[in-house]
Structure 1
């Protein structure tokens, strides 16, 4: 689920990436890190035609 691309959301994804990076917690660590990185890239990158 990709939320709206707002500066607040981008900042939240960035903070989550930092948190996961410094606090690895088991097998879900990698998936959560990739998920947040993809979300951050989608929000900070060029606007896609299918993005809201």
Structure 2
């Protein structure tokens, strides 16, 4: 029996600091990306496409 499928994996792409105009303070950020992987037996094996990006 072969078990396969797809799964989204989130990872940090970049991080840094910026000046917030609202509170006038330095704030940190983490830019994250979500990439879809082909999985074989629940293990991400082959990257397929970039699903999206967001700042945390």
Which TM class, normalised by the smaller chain length?
under 0.3
Question: Which TM-score applies when normalising by structure 1?
Answer: 0.19
Structure 1 or 2: larger strand share? 2
Question: Which TM-score applies when normalising by structure 2?
Answer: 0.19
Flag the structure with larger Rg.
Answer: 2
Structure 1 or 2: larger helix share? 1
